[in-house]
Structures are given as structure tokens and as C-alpha cells.
Chains A and B, each alone.
Chain A
Amino acid sequence: MSSADDGNPLLEGLRLRRSPDACAIVIFGATGDLTRRKIFPALYALALRRLLPERFGVVGVARTEQTAKQWIAEMKQAVREHARDPFEARVWRELADGMRYVATDFAEDEGEDRVVEALNDLDRQHGCSGNRLYYLAVPPAAFETIVNELGERRSTEGWIRLIVEKPFGHDRASAHRLNGILQQHFTENEIFRIDHYLGKETVQNMLALRFANGIFEPIWNRQFIDHVQITVGESIGIEGRAAFYERAGVIRDVFQNHLLQLVALTAMEPPIDFTADSVRNEKVKVLRSLHTPGPKSVVRGQYARGYIEGEEVAGYREEPGVAGDSTTETYLAAKLYVDNWRWADTPFYVRVGKRLPRRETTIAIQFQRAPHPPFAEIAGEGLRPNVLLIHVQPDEGVSLAIGAKVPGAGMSIRTVHMDFLYGGAFRTSLPEAYERLILDAMLGDATLFTRSDEVDEQWGLVDAIVAAWQRDRPNFPNYPAGSWGPPNANELIRRDGRSWRRH
């Protein structure tokens, strides 16, 4: 706190963390994988660091018939397995004391009554003051029913906020429809569409890097940048999510959301401040100006059998639940352009895929070559353009590739990396994205959440790409697991006289 809020002079200068209001969080899909792997470990981490409100409770809602005691034990085990911190019984006891469970089909009125009862109980016993954060960790099919129920039963006491997980729609029309359902009952500032990439420290550091350092912004444009490469690679396959993946493919699973958010953060203009609307206004301008120059600038792929870290892995069509002749893409590379004054004619090469050799998310800003290196040709053999490399994951940090003289006689130049590693400079473990995002939602700060018009623009680009795919049948599979994608992805960038970054 930096000012004498509410006329209280004792507040001034007190370095207290922003503390959320007393509230209850209601998790729909309380027995699901997301709740076990991400949401509860995040709540535990927040509890351990005393970032949750003192008056707080959790209501878990799911179809599974079990007692509250059983659900609490299940969540305790999930925290033990997935939390980034050692388990502390005292912290867990405090959290578990405010946990309730309701087994219900989301469509049942009687079940919704019991959710309300559980919340009223938390208000009485834990002083949650009627404030509600609803977390929809459910498949899209359950979404409409729950939103309508919540909207019809919304209380006038306290605030209400709604966290919505991806996928937010299947195309532009379905996203429109979902937004319509939400906006029937909730205002835009009550809706928190989660894209967990935005909760990552390194993604937020992109804003710090660009707008807190005077040296980058003057050269962050078409005059100095040759092109941008963004890679979102995963070494894992579809991990039993065939039903979802067959419908979504990589374009809806990752490209539409995480990857386009990275493009937007890289290309956006400086916001006037770091408020939710200012940041999102700038991002949406980028998304609105994005285009791909045509079908030849998009390459899709699907992995075949291959090797990852020495282990043979199945091809996509061999995965359980996947059709033997599936044409779902697991890889996508594209050349995108941002049609504005800053970026005109500067390509953004993006690639995203499953079963690539390693898990890696990077943004590489490749600058123009030095116009006239005064060294003899032989000296510059190893000289490459400067690259600013933002490691989103793993090895979170920033590297700058520069040319340096090799010690000794003559003038031999080599590329060396200057590294900033998060783990090196800041010796605290990075918070998980969900910790930051859940806390922000409790605080009512939507800066790191996606606004309806952003989603709309993202789907606009996806729809255009998918429309072109309707006209041809891909020759899948076309890349072996453990490779960096199909050969024509290399061709896509080689045509422009460039190449993907070496790995």
C-alpha cells in the first residue's frame, strides 16, 4: 500500500501485499485432472504464503458420489503429489477446514440448492461475506448449464466472478455464442477467461523486458528486426485426450490461445498503463491486424511413430481413441504478418507441435545483420545476426546472442550468449501460473485474462486457416515423433532465405 487508503494514515508506506476480500471459491469439476494437478496445488501454495484471504472457503462440485471427507483426502494427496512446496500439515488443516463438497449433476436444481447451502454455511462459519469466485473446470458441454444456473441464482450480496477454462469455443461462431450466454448473466469485468500462459512469469517478463528497458523499444520494429520466430514445442503426445484432441487439433489446443497471445505480447504497442483494459486494448489491436499471406504460408503435420529420449513412441493414429485415418493436425507452422506501421513486412514464423524432440517455448527476435562488418570474410564465418531469445520454458530467462572476438591472433568472430536466467538472478522458485491467476481473479484484476474481443479475433484467424484446409486432404502422417516437424515446414521458411533456429 502506498497511500493513506480510506483515510487511515497507518496504511501509508506499509509494504503489505494486496489482500483479496474474504471469499469462497466454487470449483465445478472438483474431481477432475485440472483440479488435482493445478488448482489445488495453486491454492495450497497461496495458503502457504498467506496470500489467501483469512476468511476463505472452497466448495468442490462434481458428479462423483463421495463424501466431503473422501474428496478432502483426495485433494490432500493431489497436493502432496503436485505442489511445488513441501507438504505442511498445519497449512493443509487450515485450508481443509473451509472445504465442502457437493456431489451433483450440474443440471439438477436440488444439487444447486446444496451448493448454495454449502456457501451459506461457509459465510456463517468462515465469514466469506457472500463473495463468490466460480471456477468452471469442466468440459465445454457442461458450460452452458452451469452458467445459466449461476446467473439465475446470483445473489445481490457480495461480488461474483467467474473463471472460464479453455477451450473457449470451437470456432468464431461458437465463441460468439458462449460469450452471449456469459454476457446474459455477467458483465465483462466479472468474467475471467483463463489462458495459463499469461500467468507465467516469463510471459509477463516480456512486458517488463520491452517496456522497462529503454534500449529495446527503439529497435523493436521492422527497421531493426529481420523476423521473429516463436516455438511452442511439446515432447509429449496427447496423453489420453483423444476425444478432445480429435476435435481440436493443435490449432485449437495451443495455436488459437497460447501462441497467439505470445505473438500479441511480442508485437503490441506500449500500453499507457498496466491496467487490464489498457493492456488488452493493445493486444487486441495486434490480433486484429494479424494475417497469414495464404495457404502456402501454413504447414500442418501429424506425427508418426518415432523416438523420444531413446524410447519408441506410437504415431498419432495409433493412439487409443484416435481414428486410423485421422486428419487431425498435431503440428502447425505458419508465417504471419502484423499489418501495422511497426511491423509491416516483418514475418513472424511460428510453429507449434506435439512429439517434438523437447519441451520448449521460446520467442526469438532476430535482428538485421550488421550492415558492413569491417572484418575479412574469413573472420566472420561464424558470425550470425544478433538474436534476443526469450526462454518461456524451460530454463526461464533471456539470452542475447552477440558476436565476440575469439582470443588470439587475428580477428576471428564467434557467436556467444549473454544469459539472464530467472533461477540465477532471483533465487526464489517461480510461482505456478495458476497461483498468480487465481489470486488475480480474487483481487478482481483481469489484466492477465483474455477479453471477449481478443478471443473473437483469435478465432477469426483460426477460422481463416481452417477454411483453407477444407479444400485438400493432407498426406498424414508426415513427421516422425522426435523430429522438429514435417520437411515442408523447413521449406516454408527457406523460401524466404531464412531457417528455423538450430536446436
Chain B
Amino acid sequence: MPGVVAQVEKRLAELRVHHAEGTRTSVMTHVAWAPPQWAAAARRTLAGLEELHPSRTILLFPDARKADGIAVDVELKCFTIPGSEREVCSEVIKLRLGGKRTRVPGSIVQPLLITDLPTFCRWRGLPPWGRPELEQLVDVCDRLVVDSSEWRGLPGAYTKLAALFDRIAVSDIAWGRSVGWRGRLVSLWPDVKSITTLSVTGPKADALLLAGWLRSRLRRPVRLSHRSATELERIAVDGEPVPPPRGAALSASDLLSAELDVFGRDPIYEAAVTAAR
């Protein structure tokens, strides 16, 4: 039985013969870690993403309860280029990791990365802090993309996340989701500089990050009053409602897509995380 890399390469070569007219284009390698409870959501998000960011996508579906081994499934996703009869094709490599293979993803992913292009790792759910699978992927990827609104144990988990900041650039979809509201808060300057209480109706992560952002930027204590909701619905500064941003909220794919356009560390986010605790 050939190794996983040989299997992937053989299958890709076969597929390219069938799509000889398709242009192979990649702007990154996109690694997604999706444990069983997140597998369906990961597939849905990627469905809206592949067309926007031609990339080699490596989908890792770990399940330690399954038998030891790696199941390989490779496909080419081809999309017609607007205004042209030509197609562009992205490679999607699905790897189902069973048993102890779930603890060694670094050695599986590393030979499959596209040389010289950035590698983004989307981690679904709460990362297993300190565990080998996370540690290895942090070492091989350039940017870790999380959505802290998927986590339990906030704000404590932010301490663990902050410990990664010197090792890997981090994007948080919960942070990206609030950009419109942050724009609104910016426009309240200079009145907002004496804020004492921020009231947020929305996901807990979004609320904590907004409060942390105001504390770190304004260098003053800001009390957070939070009411839970699935989306950011309402924000008030010292009881005064903030007008909502224009336009509809972005979809999960759009939010992830926006994070995949960002390179390098985000010191403002890092400071917000640190002050959110």
C-alpha cells in the first residue's frame, strides 16, 4: 500500500488528465481540522469558499475512536472563469484520520503543503491546548483561524490562545464579525473615550472581544454587560444605543474568506484578547 502522499499525488495526476484544460491555480494551502461534531459545518463553509480562494485544501477529519489509519479522498473542484470558457481548478484533499494517526497530523500535512505559499489552518471548535495535534499544526502553518464563539470556557480559553501569539498569527472569526460595530464605535470618538459600561446583546465571544478592545485601546476599565444572542444584535455605550452598521451580516464563508486575505499578526486583536480576560 503506497503512503498517503503517493496516493494523493497519483490521484491528483489522474484527475488532471481529465481536466487538462483547467488552469491549476493556488494562492495558499488551506488546512481545516474538523472533528466529527464539526465535519458537516466545515464542509458547508468550504463550499462557499473554494471558489473565492483557489487553493489546495487539506481537510482533516480526525476520529480517535476509529481504527488506526488514513483514508484518502481527492477531488478537483473546477469553476468557470467569469467571461471566459476556461476553468480554474482547486485541489481538495480529504483525509480521515483514525486512531493514533489523529495525533500526528503535522507529518501528514507537511509534505502536502504547496511550497512558498502561505498556509492557513482553520480549527473548528475549541483547540486542545497543549495536545500534539494542535502543537504540530501550529508549527507547520502560518496562520491559525479560529472562531472563539464556538468555544466553551470563555474568557479563560483566551489565556491559552494568547500563549500561541508568539508562535503563529491568529485570526478569530468572532473578531471579524464585529468589524462593522467597531466602525460605529470609532465614529463615536471623542465621546466614547470616557465610556464606563459597554452593553452587548450577542455571542459571548464577540462581547468579550469588543470590551477587551475598548479597554486596550482606551486604556481604561470598561465594564461589560452581556445578554446572550446568536448574532450581534445591539450595542450600547453607557446606556446609549449605538446605531447598527449598514448592510446584512456576513455569512460564515464570507467571514472566513476575509480572514484568508490577512497575513501577519494583528496586534490590536491580540491586545483585545489579552484585555478580554
Contacts and interface: CB of A to CB of B under 8 A. Distances in A.
Contacts of B84: 394-395, 421, 423
A429 B52 CA distance: 10
Contacts of B262: 15
Interface string B213-243: 1100111000000000000000000000000
15 contacts: A9-B218, A9-B219, A13-B266, A14-B182, A15-B179, A50-B247, A394-B84, A420-B25, A421-B88, A423-B81, A423-B82, A425-B25, A425-B27, A427-B52, A428-B52
Contact of B81 (A8, A10, A13, A424): A424
A135 B217 CA distance: 41
B185 A419 contact: no
A103 to B, nearest CB: 33
Interface of A: 6, 8-16, 50, 54, 394-395, 419-421, 423-429
A52 to B, nearest CB: 11
Main secondary structure of the interface of A (DSSP, over half): loop
Contacts of A423: 81-84, 88
Q: Which 9 A-B pairs have the closest CB atoms?
A: A13-B268, A423-B81, A424-B88, A424-B25, A8-B189, A9-B217, A10-B186, A427-B52, A424-B23
Contacts of B82: 423, 429
Nearest to B80: A423
A428 B179 CA distance: 21
Contacts, number: 73
B23 A421 contact: yes
Contacts of B266: 13
B151 interface: no
Contacts of A395: 84, 86
Interface string B188-223: 011010000000000000000000011001110000
A395 B88 CA distance: 13
B77 to A, nearest CB: 11
Interface string B33-62: 000000000000000000111100000000
B65 interface: no
A186 B52 CA distance: 43
Contacts of B218: 9-10
A50 B246 contact: yes
B246 A10 contact: no
B54 A427 contact: yes
A11 B81 contact: no
A428 B254 CA distance: 12
Nearest to B186: A10
Nearest to A428: B52
B99 interface: no
Nearest to B22: A424
Which residue among B83, B179, B269 has the maximum number of chain A CB atoms within 10 Å of its CB? Answer: B83
A313 B218 CA distance: 69
A345 B213 CA distance: 59
Contacts of A427: 51-54, 79, 88
